[in-house]
Structure 1
């Protein structure tokens, strides 16, 4: 039997292609995905229920290393720091997906389990129940912005007039280049956030 010209379709191939498309376009449609896979849209429905399931599969692919139970066995502040680093690194691999996943409801049970661990860690540390989701949301907003910053240009403030804004010019001169710039900003912000959370417990 001759081999098919197009590799057989499976869920992993669908997810990998969807991630690539979202990286390129920042969004995902069934016709675009079918075109990239060189199949008809109806062929996709033999493997997935629709766009929502594909989004869930992409989320699962990205977060499989984020919510490992061992990280939540640490003290709350160390757990949040570990989680933040894993979360940022996962999304930095696919920055185009940040907007898509940040606005898609978290309906998957594996995400519920991840947040259950985060909530339990913060509540056991003494944070009030009414504050816990706000603390998690604030941290996630910072993480997602930091993931985008990893792929931002080194120079986001350009054509500075040193005579008119000398302090800004000196501050920009002091910023390292490349990955070190984004890493330093992330560590500063994360330390400030966790320090602020610690003060709330005070």
Structure 2
């Protein structure tokens, strides 16, 4: 019997099914993934020789395509970073369950490394020194991923004590009365503050 002209399984299909499993269950197991795809576990290893960690990197690469360019590199480092951060956060906020898995291992997905490389290049040309640049990227990464998790948090993150003299209760009441998404507003405030602080590193 001749081989099919189109492969029965691809890396993208595996990564997409793995992401769906994480969205549903918060975890990833290769036996369950194989069952979902109606293949053997060895078929997954054929495409991802590194097993579970390699599949997670495949997911990282798949998600990176959601927030990749084109970006306007002529708009200045701050405008570029704002757009990069917003796209990155929006993508991860749709899949908060994958964030703990991604942060538990080294980034090796080529698509993701290319995205970080482009950001690093913009920051470097803007005047960020080598000894500061990786820290700047790390701070951005931590903030964005934390905000993505916050997007999946309950609307009321803090319980209202009802104490009329409580500053926290007053803040909770004021926030409830504001239109729009609380997490998105928090993200924009944090991003503006973070970029203002990072601007001090420009030489």
TM range (shorter): 0.7 to 0.9
User: Residue 69 of structure 1: CA displacement?
Assistant: 4.3
So what's the TM-score if we normalise by structure 2? Answer: 0.86
Report the number of matched residues.
194
Q: Residues of 2 paired with 1:169 and 1:37: CA distance?
A: 49
Q: For the Cα contact (< 8 Å) 2:61–2:110, is it kept in 1?
A: no
Q: Which runs of 5+ in 2 are unaligned?
A: 1-7
- CA 1:46–1:126: 2 relative to 1, 3 Å: closer
User: Residue 44 of structure 1: CA displacement?
Assistant: 2.2
- The answer for the alignment partner of 1:27 in structure 2 is 27
- The answer for the alignment partner of 1:120 in structure 2 is 121
SS at match of 1:70: coil
Runs of 4+ in structure 1 deviating by more than 6 angstroms, as ranges, are none
Q: Residues of 1 paired with 2:16 and 2:30: CA distance?
A: 14
- The answer for the alignment partner of 2:55 in structure 1 is 54
User: Residue 179 of structure 1: CA displacement?
Assistant: 5.4
SS at match of 1:139: helix
Q: Residues of 2 paired with 1:201 and 1:10: CA distance?
A: 44
Q: Residues of 1 paired with 2:73 and 2:147: CA distance?
A: 22
Q: What are the within-5 Å matches in structure 2 for residues 125-164 of structure 1?
A: 125-163=126-164
Q: For the Cα contact (< 8 Å) 1:26–1:100, is it kept in 2?
A: no
1:155-202 deviation digits (Å, cap 9, x = unpaired)? 011141314x52111100111478521111000000000011123337
User: Residue 87 of structure 1: CA displacement?
Assistant: 0.2
Q: Residues of 1 paired with 2:132 and 2:202: CA distance?
A: 11
Q: Residues of 2 paired with 1:63 and 1:70: CA distance?
A: 14
SS at match of 1:170: helix
Q: For the Cα contact (< 8 Å) 1:72–1:121, is it kept in 2?
A: yes
Q: For the Cα contact (< 8 Å) 1:71–1:83, is it kept in 2?
A: no
User: Residue 145 of structure 1: CA displacement?
Assistant: 0.8
Q: For the Cα contact (< 8 Å) 2:58–2:109, is it kept in 1?
A: no
SS at match of 1:174: helix
Q: Residues of 2 paired with 1:120 and 1:137: CA distance?
A: 15
- CA 1:13–1:123: 2 relative to 1, 3 Å: closer
Superposed CA RMSD: 2.1
1:46-76 deviation digits (Å, cap 9, x = unpaired)? 4332223322221111111323142434300
- The answer for the alignment partner of 1:44 in structure 2 is 44
Q: For the Cα contact (< 8 Å) 1:154–1:178, is it kept in 2?
A: no
